[in-house]
Amino acid sequence: MGIVSQEAILELQALMDSVEEPLNITFQNVHQGFRAETLVRFLKAREWNVAKAHKMLVDCLHWRVQNTIDDILAKPIVPSELYGAVRDSQLIGMSGYSREGLPVFAIGVGLSTFDKASVHYYVQSHIQINEYRDRVILPSASKKHGRPITTCIKVLDMTGLKLSALSKIKLLTIISTIDDLNYPEKTNTYYIVNAPYIFSACWKVVKPLLQERTRKKIQVLPGCGRDELLKIMDIASLPHFCRKDGSGSSRNAENENCFSLDHPFHQQLYNYIKQQSLITEPAQPIKQGSFHVDLPKPAAEETEIAKSLESELQKFEKGNMLSKSTDGIKTDDD
């Protein structure tokens, strides 16, 4: 890290020293003892501009206080049937760790339907996984390896990606905006696997719109990505949809499915939230209803990406309809 970077960190640190309660309390939940690494994340997200990074971090802390994010890990999604439905339609899990000790999160982009609950439940679930990662998984990994581990790896499975993805763009943009504004630079690398043709068409449109910093983190791997991913993790940590070509995000995969509610990660997460709710309100019955978070207005970049994706998917859909109608004419002639 250069002299300029060190100066920026010290300058931002001095600004954050003057932060008062309740922002300081929630800041402790954000940095988990790794203050310098946290400041670096926000500085990177704002191209090392100290004033912009300071505003971003203070805005993030205000968002946390206003939406009581510090309490979200004590707010289970109930009843359990609803939580199960959320898990079945928002496919995400943790399959293990890389050889460097980074948690490996698997996301079933193509087969996630987001159609079993309201937007607020999916947002709540997403933030809970973020907070569990940052407050439990990463500090535990740091302690085990004796050094700060503050980022993760994400493997995105595009199996099943269809034109119906058009209906998910709004929710995915909300979730992406929450991450960009409040959990910046938490992902070391995004690996994209099992990509169908429709992804390739969308990627060509989206790639130029991404910041160079983000573009460098994304790697589109051939097939299920098994060979490439085995260079950075053991087979036990490989997501089930990367075990062999065509395995996909199937819930009945032969290997252990990290999307399943029965997977150790989800069992630990579910039990942790339940226990925290009992500690926080031991005499109160667990309340039903989603944990409402103010949904952010997407940044200009996010909006442009969403519009470009919608446009590309609509073109793809028109092309498909034209192809089908042409096939129908050929059949009639036969």
Tell me the per-residue pLDDT of 211-225, one tens digit each, with 9 for 90 and over: 899 999 999 999 999
Where residue 16 falls among pLDDT bands split at 50, 70, 90? very high
Whether the upstream peptide bond of residue 79 has omega within 30° of 0, thus cis, is: yes
Same domain for 108 and 227?
Answer: yes
Same domain for 23 and 145?
Answer: no
Same domain for 160 and 271?
Answer: yes
Q: Which residue has the higher pLDDT, 33 or 256?
A: 33
The answer to whether position 78 is within a domain reads: no
Same domain for 47 and 12?
Answer: yes
pLDDT in tens, 140-149: 999 999 999 9
Q: Which domain holds residue 50?
A: 6-67
Number of domains into which the chain is organized: 2
pLDDT in tens, 17-58: 999 989 999 999 999 999 999 999 999 999 999 999 999 999
From 23-27, 54-58, 252-256, 276-280, the region with the lowest mean pLDDT: 252-256
The DSSP element (H or E) to which 188 belongs, if any, is: strand 187-193
Same domain for 166 and 220?
Answer: yes
Same domain for 119 and 229?
Answer: yes
The answer to whether position 332 is within a domain reads: no
Percent of the chain predicted with pLDDT > 90: 68
pLDDT in tens, 60-99: 999 999 999 999 999 999 999 999 999 999 999 999 999 9
pLDDT in tens, 311-326: 877 777 666 655 555 5
Where residue 110 falls among pLDDT bands split at 50, 70, 90? very high
pLDDT at site 292: 79
Q: Is the pLDDT of residue 199 over 80?
A: yes
Same domain for 111 and 229?
Answer: yes
pLDDT at site 285: 59
CATH of the domain at 135: 3.40.525.10
CATH of the domain at 51: 1.10.8
Same domain for 57 and 152?
Answer: no
The answer to whether position 286 is within a domain reads: no
The answer to whether position 130 is within a domain reads: yes
Same domain for 153 and 51?
Answer: no
Same domain for 100 and 59?
Answer: no
Q: Is the pLDDT of residue 246 over 70?
A: no
Which residue, of 67, 82, 100, is where some domain finishes? 67
Same domain for 35 and 99?
Answer: no
Average pLDDT over residues 269-275: 96
The answer to whether position 129 is within a domain reads: yes
Q: How far is CA 77 from CA 117, 215, 270, 329, in A?
A: 11, 34, 9, 51
Same domain for 16 and 153?
Answer: no
Average pLDDT over residues 118-129: 96
C-alpha closest to that of 311 among 205, 212, 226, 238: 205
The answer to whether position 196 is within a domain reads: yes
Q: 149 Cβ partners below 8 Å, 6+ apart?
A: 101, 102, 138, 141, 142
Beta strand pairing call for 152-157 and 187-193 = parallel
The answer to whether position 298 is within a domain reads: no
As a whole number, the mean pLDDT across the chain is 88
pLDDT at site 288: 64
pLDDT in tens, 156-188: 999 998 877 767 888 998 999 999 999 999 999
